[in-house]
A and B are shown apart, each in its own frame.
Chain A
């Protein structure tokens, strides 16, 4: 059974810092990995999708990498802003007839002005 772990569970940084969020998964046979952002009391916003054949994806100040063989992904946020404060979730999709995303519990990020 696929398990997804996100470390740390919470992170507080001063505005302007670069930071890295970590995601690990136990079964490397994944089809893709997706990073989401969730604001309090809200739904999930898709940030980046990395296909299993890709190593990384970039969107603005965000860069996500994927190392499938080691079961790890990182989300790098450059020049953090208070508006980046949210919970960040990663999820993996096994594909091959499975349509279930398996999520981690998330990392709660606070960016202090």
Chain B
């Protein structure tokens, strides 16, 4: 497709479980970002990839969160030992680095029971 694709669109899990969220960016976009949005708030930065490497992971809240982008395209956000406070919409975006204009996917809504 032409836009950023995220799967799953909805994920319900139990406290303590492991979760993976996938992002497929716009073809040709080298920059990929993960953001997290809680209800009534603006998105908050988690991590940024340029190619395969995480250039800035300063927004990851703790070491239960990890993200990879092994081939410089698709990225997976991994959350271990989920907690109820992890419930949010996880948004992925991609861009051509030199424009700075981000294009977002529809998000993955995570609910931890």
Contacts and interface: CB of A to CB of B under 8 A. Distances in A.
24 contacts: A34-B101, A41-B109, A42-B107, A43-B104, A43-B105, A46-B101, A46-B102, A46-B103, A49-B100, A49-B101, A51-B100, A89-B43, A91-B42, A98-B56, A99-B56, A100-B45, A100-B58, A100-B59, A101-B33, A101-B43, A102-B45, A103-B44, A104-B42, A106-B42
Contacts of B42: 4, 89, 91, 103-106
Nearest to B93: A44
B41 interface: yes
B106 A99 contact: no
Contacts of B107: 42-43
Interface of A: 4, 31-32, 34, 36, 41-46, 49, 51, 89, 91, 93, 95, 98-106
Chain A binding site: helix, strand, loop or mixed by DSSP? strand
Contacts of B103: 46
Interface of B: 4, 6, 31, 33, 35, 40-45, 48, 50, 55-56, 58-59, 91, 93, 99-107, 109
Q: A-B pairs with the 10 shortest C-beta distances? A: A103-B42, A44-B104, A100-B45, A43-B106, A99-B48, A43-B104, A49-B101, A43-B107, A32-B100, A105-B42
Nearest to B40: A105
A8 to B, nearest CB: 14
B45 A34 contact: no
Contacts of A93: 100
